[in-house]
Amino acid sequence: MAKIAILSGKGGTGKTFVATNLARIAGKCTYLDCDVEEPNGNIFLNGPITKTCDVTVKIPVVDKKKCDGCRECVSFCRFNALAYLYDRILVFKNICHNCGGCALVCPNGAISYENIKVGEVTIGQYLDTMVVTGTMKVGTESAVSTVATTLENAQPGLNIIDCPPGTACSVMEAIEDASYCIIVVEPTLFSYHNYLMVKELLEKLKLPYGLVVNKDMESTVEYTDNVIARIPYQKEIGMLVASGKLAVEHSDEYKGIFMDILDTLRREANV
C-alpha cells in the first residue's frame, strides 16, 4: 500500500487540483479527501455514492449519584475538558480528546460514555477511482476523528490523500502514515512562508517530500529545492477548475505534467 499525501501550508494553492488530477491519471487508486472542513474533491471526481457512515466519538457522561466530587477526573484531564462546579462535573464536549482516561481514574465508576456524531464519511466511485470523502459536522471543533475515519478506508494499491491546509493536528493525522508527501506551493511570499512551516513539519516527522509549484510564473519568490513539477499559471486552467473539470481530461499538456509526477512517485515511493 502506498500513501501519497498532498498538502500545503497556505490554503488555495491547489492541493485538490493536484490530488484529483493525479488520481485520474493514476487509473485504479483510492482518493481520500481529508480536507474535512471543506472537502471538494468530489466536485471533480464526481460519481455515485455507494456508502455513507457516521464518524462518532465517545464523550464522558457522569453519573451524579455515584460521583463523590473527588475530582480525580478533573486533575487527570490534560485538556481540561472537565470542571467541577459546586456539586457536579461539567463536560466540555468540544475540548474532550476522547482518550477514555477519566473513566479509568474514577474510583467510583461514575463515568460512562455516549457516542456523539462529529462527521460523516462517504464512499463513491468515479471511473477507476474510489472516492472517499470525510466531512466534519458543522460546529465541531476538532477535525482529527473525521480525518482518522476517512483514512481507515485506504485500500491496497495507491492512495492519494488530499490533506487539510496548514500544519495543525488534523494535518499531522492525515500525513502520519504517508509514504511520500507532495507540498503544493505557489510563487507568492505568503505561500513561501507557509511552505517553510510544512517543510519543518515533514522534516521533523522524517517524511520524504517533493514540491509541485502551481500557478508557476516569473516571481521574486523562487523554489529550487526538491521541485518535482511546475504547473504554469494559465487562464485555461482557471476556466477548467471553475467549471468543475479535470485538467488532465481536457489538455494533453497537463496530462503530460501529471504523467511526469506519477513517474516521479513510482521512482521515489514505489507506487
Partner 1 sequence: MKLLAMAVNEKNMNAKLSDNLARAKYFAFVNLDDGDVEFKENPAFTSSGGAGIKAGQFLLDNQVEILITKQLGQNASDLLAGAVKMFTGIDSSLDENLAKYKNGELEQGTSTHPGFHHG
Q: Which residue in the set 22, 32, 55, 81 belongs to the binding site for partner 1 (CB under 8 A)?
A: 81
In the complex with partner 1, which residue's Cβ is closer, 171 or 269?
171
Q: Does 205 bind partner 1 (CB under 8 A)?
A: no
DSSP one-letter code for 38? S
Q: Which listed residue (12, 56, 84, 113) binds partner 1 by CB under 8 A?
A: 84
Element (H, E) at 156: none
- Regarding 83 and contact with partner 1 (CB under 8 A), the answer is yes
Task: Write down the least CB distance from residue 59 to partner 1, Å.
Answer: 14
Beta strand residue intervals within the chain, DSSP E: 2-7, 29-33, 49-62, 82-85, 88-91, 111-126, 129-136, 158-162, 180-185, 209-216, 227-232
Q: Could you tell me which of 10, 55, 11, 5 has the C-alpha nearest to residue 30? A: 5
Q: Work out whether 185 is an interface residue with partner 1 (CB under 8 A).
A: no
Contact between 78 and partner 1 by CB under 8 A: the answer reads: yes
Q: Is 76 in the site for partner 1 (CB under 8 A)?
A: no
Helices 15-26 and 252-269, interaxial angle, to 10°? 80
| Options 92-100, 189-197, 237-245, 249-257: segment touching partner 1 (CB under 8 A) | 92-100
Give min distance, CB of 94 to partner 1, in A.
Answer: 8
Out of 50, 80, 115, 226, the residue judged to bind partner 1 by CB under 8 A: 80
Window 138 to 167, contacts with partner 1 (CB under 8 A): 141, 143, 166
Looking up cell 476522547 gives: 98
Provide the CA 117 distance to its chain's centre, in angstroms: 18
Interface with partner 1, residue 90, by CB under 8 A: yes
The three-class DSSP label of residue 237 is helix
Cell numbers 516571481 correspond to what residue?
A: 219
Q: Does 92 bind partner 1 (CB under 8 A)?
A: yes
The C-alpha atoms of residue 171 and residue 166 are separated, in whole angstroms, by 7
Residue 170 binding partner 1, by CB under 8 A: yes
Residues in contact with partner 1 by the rule CB under 8 A:
74, 77-86, 90, 92, 94-95, 141, 143, 166, 168-171
